[in-house]
Structure 1
Amino acid sequence: MQVLIIEDEKPAADKLIRSLERIDHEIEVLDTLGSVQQAVGWLKENRADLIFLDIHLSDGVSFKIFEQLQNAGIEYIQTPIIFTTAYDEYAIEAFKLNSIDYLLKPVNRRDLEASLQKYRHLQEQIPPLQQNFKSLIDSLRKPAYKKRFMVSFGQRMKSIDTHQIAYFYAHDKLVQMLTFENQRYVVDHTIQQLDEILDPEIFFRINRKFMVNIEAIEQMHSYSKSRVKLDLRPESTMEAVVSVERSSDFKAWLDR
């Protein structure tokens, strides 16, 4: 088995090499690279049986390797990848990239052996892995929007799914959410923050005080200065009017 290691921390790379040698003397490490640019250059000209790829490299996140290869006209890579990372938040993201496996640092021998066993098993069961760079990059660029809010009422706590929320509004220095069941809760976010963490396919910020779910809009009416007035479900105690600045974007949002 010929292996390429892409890892910018020399002690981590050396430890991985020693571990591989102890597990299987027939494993040959072709090269160790520490940057996105080195990896792109190497992969354009060479091939390994398996790549160990650190997510954070000296000149950026390793996913940029795939983007640069794609820009160079290389859309597929057949070399299986095992990602290594000290940051658990990247683990699921990396695993979705059709990689063989991912290892959290510091890599221990038992996990490394399990990954190699998985690699050998998959090599026997399936054709060479084809990873489409465009799919990988597109999946990385898609933001993970907030799905639930933890709220408190009295001595109790409750998790509210975002699809249950009709709208958010700011009043008396507080931001409150109203569910479709007409339940009201205070949230620890500003309207600006909500605009950044909620799925824009579902929620739209109509003005400085309101963030509405498209399913909560019952009727719309023309209003002064090209604005739009909304009738919401459940009915709002505050006037819900799309601001002049947001009207054009709001109409485009509805017409997607």
Structure 2
Amino acid sequence: MKLLECTDIRKSYGLIKRSEALKGVSLSLERGQCLAVVGPNGAGKTTLLRILGGVIATFQGNLKVRGNIGYCSETTSNYPYLTGYENLNFFGEVSGSSTEVTEVLRKVRLDNDRKLVFQYSKGMKRKLEIARSLILDADIVIMDEPFDGLDPIISKDIANILVRLKEEGKGIILTSHDLYRIQDVADEVYFMSNGKFSRHETLTNFLRLKVGFQDKARNGIDLSFLGRRLLFQNRDVAYLSLENTDQISDLVEEMMRNGVKIKSVGLEPLEDLFMEIFNEQT
């Protein structure tokens, strides 16, 4: 079921000298799906998210939304001199939500904290933004740079929260420069440049594992047991397809059980594809 669908979205600024921020953008979001929009600074990512989240009301094109939206900006919009609980309780009462505040705080792992929001770390503020979307019973969570400036532990924690929201049937749209985390969360990636999408890929199309071998047999190493997961092989390396990063350890164990001596293992990162796409445009 499509929770959100936009077609040919356009947005311009300026009265005399018009500047096009968006030039005909289209996408659709299914229940339980995460879409990531990536691109260089000034590409139009934040403008698009503000339109989808209802922050910007004037634009050209068609936008259909089925359900409630929770918009999480890059900066916190909670009350700094209230606790997280008090913030969520306030927003819940104003919206008439019946969602239990303590349960929402537990989901984002803030249930044991009693600090005022101005005392929160950046990661805690990000989690509270997500929690506010949940207290408003949002079907769609829209996040602008959720991983920006966070240490790896908190960044992974937020990624895990987003994965759980997908499992609950929420739809998620986010922007991020943290391409590593996107590979953990997103199902599809839209590459944006100069106000339009230059490419759209599903995660499985570019999530690849590079395996280097210890012994370089003249005729190569037999990896036929991998079937369609084997994308390419020579005497030195093999490239394997992945559905998600959780499969890496299982693949490595399977290869070792079949006598393959592995020298190195690493993801062919989304960053490489990102650079490939945007270098073509410069």
Q: Same fold (TM over 0.5)?
A: no
Using CA pairs below 8 Å that are at least 6 residues apart, which structure has the higher relative contact order? 2
